Chain A
Amino acid sequence: MKNKELSFWLFITPVVLSLSLVVIVPVLMGLFYSFTNWNGLTFTEIVGFDHYKRLLGDTNFRDSLWFTFKFAFVSVIVLNIIGLGLALMVTSKMKTNNILRTIFFMPNLIGGLILGFIWQFIFVRVFAAVGDFTGIEGLMGWLSTSTTGFWGLVILTVWQQAGYIMIIYIAYLQGIPKELIESANIDGASPFQKFRYIIFPLLAPGFTVSMFLTLSTSFKIYDQNLSLTGGGPFNSTQMVAMNIVDTAFSSNQMAYGQSKAVIFFIIVAIFSLTQVYYSKKREVDL
């Protein structure tokens, strides 16, 4: 690039400036604070790796990390299956396609907090009422045990985000050349064979994007967690993000919370990057 002259720098300055002001500088400051006894206002000494050592023995943090892993694992799989299923459904030849797309996408427009309260009502009241009426024990007392809390969160997340993932898959599905499908038809491929050997491999870039999105959002979920279960009962459905917020803002251990956040950042980064790397390798070029 030869034309890196004044106008080039002027153009990128706003981006570089705002990016460093709101992302890079805070991250570096946060990293630094995690090595001090910062209390949100000031710090008096640098404590080195003390917070990180303490983290190793913190069972609450470990539990919430484990819960988050389980949650992310299940919700990534379910989300992608359902998202792809919806996408295949609305790209097939049906009259109601456009309405369906809108309907499936709509939950994504509602804020996580409100969704949490809506689903809390559904799980606690509607489920109980239906359970009362039909005598199905499994519908009673939702969200009052860790298992129902876990599945409640999965259902909520999937319901909210499946429409978004659907849109991504639709885009990739529509990008698949018609000729390939047609020639497969001529060769007499069954619908399953078409899906398995033509559509699926060509969707790989879509998987990369969707997996990355679902994985990173599932890890970082906070508002749905807060309003649906609030971490209860007995903090057994507390995810890492919530654990960090509680440490920092309700126990007022800012620096310790910050060190948890640093660890969490590293974990999420490792998972997402590994996933993207391997998914990328599977992509086929036409």
Chain B
Amino acid sequence: MFSKSYFYKGIVLLSATGLLAACGSDDGSSGSGGDGGSGEQIELDIMQGKVEFNEQFNELAQMYMDENPNVSINITSVGGGTDYFTQLTTRFSSGDEPDIFSVAGPEQMEKMSEYMADLSDTDAADKALEGMLDQVSQDDGTVDALPYNIEGYGFIYNKNIFEEAGIDAEEIMTYEDLESAVQTLSDQADELGIEAPFAFPGAEGWVPGDHLANVYLSHEFDENVNNAYNAETLEFENGDQFKRMLDLQVEYSVEPVLSLDYSQQVEEYFSLGQVAMIQQGNWVYPTLEQMDPELAENGVGMIPIPLEGHEGELPVGIPNFWAVNGNKDDAVVQEAKDFLDWMYLSEEGKEFVINEFNFIPAYEGYEDLEIGDPLSQVVYEYSQSGDTIGWIFNGYPSGYTNNEFGPNIQAYIAGEMTWDEMIDESISAWESLQ
């Protein structure tokens, strides 16, 4: 009897000490990690939301660490816009704050504003191309964040198919030009061996909701994302043009539009030559290259989405920015700035940014380097010449495309809503979310 109860108590005691020991050792390890900065050793914790280039980014960080042995860089990459930001805020709320983090769009910047150090004294801010810092500059001259890269979208077309059909893509300027080209493609679909002129991914709310709509909404907000962010409402001044372009793409797309998604659009239909063009951006290039290097290298081009009065202008914008956590010690902040400068302005950094990241740079000093791929070249050319339409969709109220605008457009495509209902619903959703 006695021995039994002692036995149980013994187990309890043992497990309790085990538990305590486990906690103790946990505390110990995290403690030693935190105050390991004896001397000049600096740890840079980076958290960023562009997961596609994680591997290359780590390589670049390794190069930097090799050059600067006193710095150790630790990178966390999280994919998908919303997931990233949730995790970022979680880390901030739990006190495990990164030193460098990425932000996309005015809402994220507003939420993180108290943490963002002034970067106006960095060389990168100095060397940023004109207009690239517009949305991150304050009136007093501070710069909150630095651009990752430039991205642009339009109609990506298959040069071989266009040639066979006898269409010169460079001459497509107006909506009417595009319509007749699409008609030609559709008429010859069998001879060209395509299923349809377009593959329109109706399953992805962001393709019509963010990208297509941006072309027709941008000028309502003077092409400035901050105006959109602060706008109480929106008008859809160019709604008719938006409608006819959407209708055109849906009518001449591979069916069924509403279950067609991004990967089908790019990988299956476009890269295998089953459609002549898709509405996408330069970010599809790595995928195309994987599927068909020959086509990607020589067979694709990009033309703007026609907007009356702004023909030949490509929607170009900056999806992501770097911010430095101003809560940290001065030494860490300085090191973070140095790292960003080095990445975009040093010779090795530049080479890497262009060739490994496949970024279209938002900074000066890249004139001698050749921009990696043909789609990026198109985007870079348009941004150099200034024939661009600003991105405003990052200024939508949060969740607008996912939960309201995108579904409404899908309902219109499915015939569940008329166009006017769609517009009215989307306007009132904007007003209630703002």
- List A residues at the B interface (Cβ < 8 Å): 6-7, 10-11, 14, 39-41, 60, 124, 140-145, 230-236, 246-247, 249-253
Whether, in the assembled complex, B256 has its beta carbon less than 8 Å from a beta carbon of chain A, the answer is yes
Interface of B is mostly: helix
Smallest beta-carbon distance B386→chain A, Å: 34
Complex contacts, A235 vs chain B, CB 8 Å: 403, 407, 410
Q: Say yes or no: A249 contacts B82, CB within 8 Å.
A: yes
**Which residue of the partner chain, among A144, A246, A249, contacts B259 with CB atoms under 8 Å?**
A144
Q: Roughly how many angstroms separate A145 CA and B408 CA in the complex, as a whole number?
A: 14
Complex contacts, B397 vs chain A, CB 8 Å: 251
Q: Say yes or no: B408 contacts A10, CB within 8 Å.
A: no
**Which residue of the partner chain, among A10, A39, A40, A251, contacts B12 with CB atoms under 8 Å?**
A10
| A233-B403 contact, Cβ under 8 Å, with A7-B5, A142-B259 | no
Complex contacts, B258 vs chain A, CB 8 Å: 141, 143-145, 232-233
Q: Roughly how many angstroms separate A150 CA and B40 CA in the complex, as a whole number?
A: 61
- Nearest residue in A to B264 (C-beta to C-beta)? A124
| A233-B203 contact, Cβ under 8 Å, with A124-B259, A250-B398, A251-B398 | yes
Q: Which of B85-93, B118-126, B241-249, B342-350 forms contacts with chain A?
A: B85-93
Query: Would you list which residues of chain B between 396 and 414 have a CB under 8 Å from chain A?
Result: 397-399, 402-403, 407-411, 413-414
- Nearest residue in A to B86 (C-beta to C-beta)? A249
Q: Roughly how many angstroms separate A145 CA and B255 CA in the complex, as a whole number?
A: 12
Smallest beta-carbon distance B209→chain A, Å: 11
Q: Say yes or no: A60 contacts B86, CB within 8 Å.
A: no
Q: Say yes or no: B89 contacts A233, CB within 8 Å.
A: no
Query: Would you list which residues of chain B between 250 and 288 have a CB under 8 Å from chain A?
Result: 255-259
| A251-B433 contact, Cβ under 8 Å, with A40-B89, A235-B403 | yes
Q: Roughly how many angstroms separate A234 CA and B111 CA in the complex, as a whole number?
A: 29
| A250-B403 contact, Cβ under 8 Å, with A233-B202, A234-B416 | yes
Q: Say yes or no: B410 contacts A40, CB within 8 Å.
A: no
Having A41-B89, A41-B93, A233-B202, one finds 8 other A-B pairs with CB under 8 Å, namely A7-B5, A39-B111, A230-B203, A233-B411, A235-B410, A246-B403, A250-B398, A251-B397
**Which residue of the partner chain, among B8, B89, B202, B399, contacts A246 with CB atoms under 8 Å?**
B399
Q: Roughly how many angstroms separate A41 CA and B89 CA in the complex, as a whole number?
A: 7
Q: Interface residues of B toward A: which range?
A: 35 or more
Q: Roughly how many angstroms separate A247 CA and B414 CA in the complex, as a whole number?
A: 24
Closest 9 CB pairs of A and B: A251-B399, A144-B258, A141-B256, A234-B410, A234-B411, A144-B256, A144-B259, A234-B407, A235-B407
Residue pairs across A and B with Cβ atoms less than 8 A apart, 7 shown, are A10-B16, A141-B255, A144-B203, A144-B258, A235-B407, A236-B416, A249-B82
Complex contacts, A252 vs chain B, CB 8 Å: 107, 398-399
Whether, in the assembled complex, B127 has its beta carbon less than 8 Å from a beta carbon of chain A, the answer is no
Smallest beta-carbon distance B396→chain A, Å: 11
Complex contacts, A231 vs chain B, CB 8 Å: 407
Whether, in the assembled complex, B9 has its beta carbon less than 8 Å from a beta carbon of chain A, the answer is yes
Smallest beta-carbon distance A201→chain B, Å: 44
Smallest beta-carbon distance A40→chain B, Å: 5
| A144-B257 contact, Cβ under 8 Å, with A40-B93, A41-B89, A249-B82 | yes
Smallest beta-carbon distance B334→chain A, Å: 27
Smallest beta-carbon distance B404→chain A, Å: 8
Q: Say yes or no: B410 contacts A233, CB within 8 Å.
A: yes
Complex contacts, B89 vs chain A, CB 8 Å: 40-41
- Nearest residue in A to B404 (C-beta to C-beta)? A60
| A246-B402 contact, Cβ under 8 Å, with A40-B89, A40-B93 | yes
Q: Roughly how many angstroms separate A144 CA and B82 CA in the complex, as a whole number?
A: 25
Q: Roughly how many angstroms separate A236 CA and B414 CA in the complex, as a whole number?
A: 11
Query: Would you list which residues of chain B between 365 and 419 have a CB under 8 Å from chain A?
Result: 397-399, 402-403, 407-411, 413-414, 416
Complex contacts, B93 vs chain A, CB 8 Å: 40-41
Complex contacts, A233 vs chain B, CB 8 Å: 202-203, 258-259, 407, 410-411, 413-414
- Nearest residue in B to A248 (C-beta to C-beta)? B86
| A232-B410 contact, Cβ under 8 Å, with A144-B259, A251-B399, A251-B403 | yes
**Which residue of the partner chain, among A10, A60, A144, A236, contacts B403 with CB atoms under 8 Å?**
A60
Smallest beta-carbon distance A161→chain B, Å: 24
Q: Roughly how many angstroms separate A140 CA and B278 CA in the complex, as a whole number?
A: 23
Q: Roughly how many angstroms separate A39 CA and B258 CA in the complex, as a whole number?
A: 33
Smallest beta-carbon distance B196→chain A, Å: 15
Complex contacts, A40 vs chain B, CB 8 Å: 86, 89-90, 93
Q: Say yes or no: B256 contacts A140, CB within 8 Å.
A: yes
- Nearest residue in A to B411 (C-beta to C-beta)? A234
Complex contacts, A236 vs chain B, CB 8 Å: 411, 416
Q: Roughly how many angstroms separate A253 CA and B111 CA in the complex, as a whole number?
A: 13
Complex contacts, B111 vs chain A, CB 8 Å: 39
Q: Roughly how many angstroms separate A146 CA and B409 CA in the complex, as a whole number?
A: 15
Complex contacts, B82 vs chain A, CB 8 Å: 249-250
Complex contacts, B255 vs chain A, CB 8 Å: 141
| A234-B414 contact, Cβ under 8 Å, with A7-B12, A40-B89, A142-B259 | yes
The contact string, 1 if C-beta is below 8 Å from chain A, for chain B 203-227, is 1010000000000000000000000
Q: Say yes or no: B408 contacts A234, CB within 8 Å.
A: yes
Of A124, A140, A233, A253, most B-chain CB atoms within 10 Å: A233
